[in-house]
Amino acid sequence: MSLKNFSELFVNLDSNNSTNNKIEVLKNYFLSNDPKDNSWAIYLLTGKSNKRFISGRYLKNLFSQIYEYPEWLIDTCYLKVGDSAEVITLLLKNKSTSRKKKLSNISLNELLSKTIPDLSKLNEEEKNFKIKNMWETLPEDNHLIFNKILTGTFRIGVSIGLITKSISKLINIDEEIISHRLMGNFEPSIDSYEFLINKNINLKDLNSKPFPFLLANTIENKIFKHSINDFQFEWKYDGIRMQLIKRSGNVSLWTRGQELVNESFPELVAKMSHIKDDFVLDGELLVWNFKEQIAFDFSLLQKRINRKSPTKSIQLKYPIIFIAYDLLEINGRDIREIKLENRRIELEKYFSKWQNKTENNISDIFKICDLIFPKDWPDALTYKEKSRENNTEGLIIKKKTSIYSSGRKKGTWWKYKVDPMQLDAVLIYAKGGRGRRAGLYTDYSFALWKDQELIKFASAYSGLTNIEIKELDKWIRKNTIEKFGPVRSIKPEMVFEISFEKIQISKRHKSGIAVRFPRITKWRKDKKINDADSLENAYELMKKIS
Amino acid sequence: MRTKQEDLIRYKDGNLYCELADIWIDPSKPVKRALITHAHFDHFTFGCEEYLSTKETAMLLKERVGDNLNIKTFDYGEEFKINGINISFHPSGHILGSSQIRFIFAEEKWLISGDFKLQRDETCKEYEIVKTDYLISECTFGLPIFKWDESNKIANDISKWITNSPEKTSLLFCYSLGKAQRLLNEISQTNFKGNIYSHGSIHKMNNSYRKLGINIIDTIKIENKNKIDELKGSLILLPPSLSKGSYLKNFKNIQTAFASGWMSIRALRKRSGYDMGFPISDHADWDGILEVVKKSEAKNVFFHHGDSEALSKFLVEKESINVLFFGK
């Protein structure tokens, strides 16, 4: 199977086809390619790893060297294109005369398991020669894939959901099961692929994987018609959502973004290992103010997220806690299908057992979430409005009879966030500021997703600290796609939480909505652009309040 | 460098102007005398006392804006004199009737390229290499990332795009004049044998082309009474101005594409809002501009239309060509 098939798949998925169309295209790809290629395709499309073999800068220099191209010219092109791999791909079209007659028919598997990894074994001269040779022997429409994989910038707007759906259709097995199989690490191998398409539902290997997370929806008005007693109320913490798993004695910590973060939080892993039972807990990791028993700000947690093997002093300076919301599995028994109220009973039972029996004291790093008991809905509102006082974002409302399914299932969990309204948006334009901010890019425009397109929905100027402004300005200059007078279009990469007071329909804006007093409330460096909100979310927000 | 007073052609109020002949080239506001390179509206303005163009351009303009224009017409290569300056139109390969304009005064030659391309296009005359001392060239796609594929390859891609989604109505957006006719010509040579519809504005231009002796395949004029079912699997050509707004509500189950040189860049393709982009242009790509600069044997080159910074620097550094800039 040749790389060509994957290039074609890429073109298909990259164009704005309908979801159904894409699922069909993916399904057909899986049907007509061998398991090795399929596993690599899934690996790439789900963005499980984007290892950079050489930098974009290296690629540009190499091209400049081989074809005697001025570097400044490549840099100018880069400003227009915004991606080194694509710039080189486009420039290579101009060099098609140097293409060898015999074209390579390399497979995706061979390219990824051999050709590219082998580059690191070569010295610079050999490496350059090899890349040049690839450029000259690969068919033109495979260049983009090759260059992108080389530079670790293979990114495409395909959600895991789409892969899940296409595999589910392929083998006719429920999406939930496929989604579970796709959790955690995915090694590009025949085994991984066969595991994914196995028709047997109960697979042992699932043990190494976290469960698909259940996510909360924004509050809906209709919920207020129901009795308050139908729901369980919790504080909505602003930390990192995680599954804390102990199976066959081994503890693992999985983030919602499906990263294994044991190394960042060794003290938690160590403590939890002492518990005798096996379990899967759903909860939130926070930096905790033990004196006042409330969470510290998210910014303190950021000091811990990307730091592997933190020193003792870091651990003391930023003390963490895992707050468990839910118990999903106990001693090998999957209890996701039992009602929330019963799972809560189990959670409380085991928590008190662990607290009393464990030799080590776990209460300095682990607790279960406190429940709130509002008398009626107005009382719930009062609680919500108090949530700022304890550094939470509002309430999470869970239907007591709900089972733990996956994704943003309607009618199970709701988030009742403290005002203002917020959406996570992608920075797409920046404009130079005036007066004190002259010479810095301080006026920003933000976009939301509409299918695969980012549509501008708000401009905001305030909310960042001076240090953040400087940092962002520097980044903007490096990541400009195009300049239109004082305005620059920016590589969509940075996600910001935008808060605003009012949202309404507007015919004047392309997005169809207008927001009042938009401001930046958080630079979400922890989020990728695919995590940003969609216009649909904005419309729903609008529906809910009107 | 010469001062601007000495230049035969210079920039005045944002337009190209030859003072000695008191004649403007594609002016954007009414003047006494205007040379028109081709019939696109961004090169034409109402209210000039007299227009000068090729026969085809004159005819296309009249079809588009009405008969009451005072246009003097010339054949390609036919020289005429104004205030002692010899002026002539030469094919530029952009669209039917499009031209470069050459000025000769006191043995000094100036050439305005107009919008041009070198690529194959059976719906208009091929670009003619004209030797000159001074070249004023367009520079719409003046970066080496722009390298056009053969037009038949793009036409095949379009054909595949339509036939791969037989359940859908394929809307291809393109400029009504020139691009649409070129696409029709190319698509008629592919395997696509389904129905082709065109918007009224395109339909009209197809007829004009036919009147001027260019063979354009028949298309069905798209009208409100067209049944949605019969549009399934067919191709509909529409002008880009209809891509935003309520017009698309007339159709069901559509896929959209835009045919433009800018579609070669992924970021622009993504931002454009079309489902698909086909990079095909009636302007020259980087290599095309370089070829014209070289073959024209011009010692001095000016650029207008587009960002010419990189191209200018490249010509100066790599090709030792003198690139001049218009004074404001």
The residue among A511, A496, A491, A500 whose CA lies nearest residue A428 is A491
Query: What SS3 state is found at A529?
Result: helix
Give B146→chain A minimum CA distance, Å.
Answer: 7
- Of all residues in chain A, the percent with pLDDT exceeding 90 is 51
Minimal Cβ distance to A91: which of B144, B165, B267: B144
- Report how far residue A102's alpha carbon sits from residue B40's, in angstroms, rounded to the nearest whole number: 44
User: In the structure, what pLDDT confidence band is assigned to residue A437 with cuts at 50, 70 and 90?
Assistant: low
In whole angstroms, what is the distance from residue B12 CA to residue B5 CA? Answer: 11
Point out which residues pair with B71 in neighbouring strands. B51
Q: What is the mean pLDDT of residues A237-257?
A: 91
A302 residue type, one letter: Q
Which residues does chain A have within 8 Å of residue B165's beta carbon, measured at their own beta carbons? Answer: 21
Closest approach of chain B CAs to the CA of A121, in angstroms? 32
Which residue type is seen at B311? Answer: L
Q: What is the pLDDT of residue B1?
A: 43
In angstroms, how far is CA B215 from the centroid of its own chain? 19
On average, the pLDDT of chain A sits at 88
Q: Which residues of B touch A449 (CB under 8 A)?
A: none
Fill in the amino acid letter for B244: K
| Confidence at residue A175, expressed as pLDDT on a 0 to 100 scale | 84
* Per-residue tokens: B172: 């291809």
pLDDT at residue A439, rounded to an integer: 66
Whether the per-residue pLDDT at A402 is higher than 60: the answer is yes
Q: C-alpha distances in angstroms, A215 versus A408, A411, A413, B55? A: 5, 11, 7, 68
The region of weakest confidence among A58-67, A126-135, A366-375, A509-518 is A509-518
Q: pLDDT (tens digit, 9 = 90+) per residue, A182-229?
A: 887 788 899 889 988 988 877 677 777 899 999 999 888 889 999 999
Average pLDDT over residues A381-391: 83
> What is the structure's pLDDT at B39?
96
Residue B145 and residue A87: Cβ atoms within 8 Å? Answer: yes
Residues of chain A in contact with residue B291, where contact means CB-CB under 8 angstroms, are none
Chain B residues with CB-CB distance to A under 8 A? Answer: 143-147, 165, 255, 264-267, 270-271, 273-276, 286-287, 309-310, 313-314, 317-318
Task: Round to whole Å and give the CA distance between A247 and A261.
Answer: 16
Three-state DSSP at A365 gives: coil
Percentage, residues of chain B above pLDDT 90: 78
Which residues on chain A are in Cβ contact (under 8 Å) with B271? 453-454
Three-state DSSP class for A169? Answer: helix
pLDDT of residue B92: 98
Q: What is the dihedral of CA A66, A70, A75, A80, to 10 degrees?
A: -90
**Residue numbers in A near B144 (CB within 8 A):** 69, 73, 77, 90-91, 94
pLDDT value at B241 more than 60:
yes
Question: B235, B229, B249: which is closest to B165 by C-alpha?
Answer: B235
Shortest CA distance from B270: residue in chain A = A453
* ipTM confidence: 0.92
Rounded to the nearest angstrom, the minimum Cα separation between A522 and chain B is 25
Nearest CA in chain A to B161: A12
Instruction: Determine the average pLDDT of the residues in A521-530.
Output: 89
Residue B328 has pLDDT above 60, yes or no: no
Distance CA B31, CA B48 (A): 5
| Interface contacts A/B by beta carbons within 8 Å | 60
pLDDT exceeds 90 at position A310: yes
Residue of A nearest to B269 (CA): A15
How much is the pLDDT for B45?
Answer: 94
Instruction: Nearest chain B residue to A85 by CA: give it.
Output: B266
B-interface mutation test, from A76, A445, A479, most B Cβ less than 10 A away: A76
Over residues A111-125, the pLDDT tens digits come to 999 999 999 899 999
Of A81, A83, A90, Cβ closest to residue B147: A90
Q: What is the mean pLDDT of residues A133-140?
A: 91
The answer to whether A77 contacts B286, with C-beta atoms less than 8 Å apart, is: no
pLDDT tens across A325-339, in order?
A: 999 999 989 999 999
Residues contacting A368, CB < 8 A, separation 6+: A323, A324, A325, A347, A348, A351
What is the sign of the dihedral through the CA atoms of A114, A115, A116 and A117?
positive
d(CA A6, CA A144): 11
Read off the pLDDT of residues A281-302 as tens digits, 9 standing for 90 and up. Answer: 999 999 999 999 999 877 788 8
Q: Given this model, what pLDDT does residue A99 score?
A: 66
Mean pLDDT calculated for residue range B24-37: 96
Judge contact between A513 and A539, C-beta under 8 A.
yes
Model pLDDT, residue B3: 45
Percent of chain B with pLDDT over 70: 98
Q: What is the pLDDT of residue A501?
A: 67
Chain A residues interacting with chain B (CB cutoff of 8 angstroms):
14-17, 21, 69-70, 72-73, 76-77, 80-83, 86-87, 90-91, 93-94, 452-454, 481, 491
Q: Is the pLDDT of residue A436 over 60?
A: no
- What mean pLDDT comes out for the span B89-99? 98
Per-residue pLDDT tens digits for B71-93: 999 999 999 999 999 999 999 99
Measured in angstroms, the CA of A94 and the nearest CA of chain B are apart by 6
pLDDT exceeds 80 at position A98 = no
Q: Is A368 left (phi over 0), alpha (psi -120 to 50) or beta?
A: beta
User: Residues B107-112: what's their mean pLDDT?
Assistant: 95
For the entire predicted model, the pTM comes to 0.75
Sorting pLDDT into bands at 50, 70 and 90, what band is B235? very high
Closest partner residue to B144 among A14, A17, A94, by Cβ? A94
Contact check, Cβ <8 Å, A15/B267? no
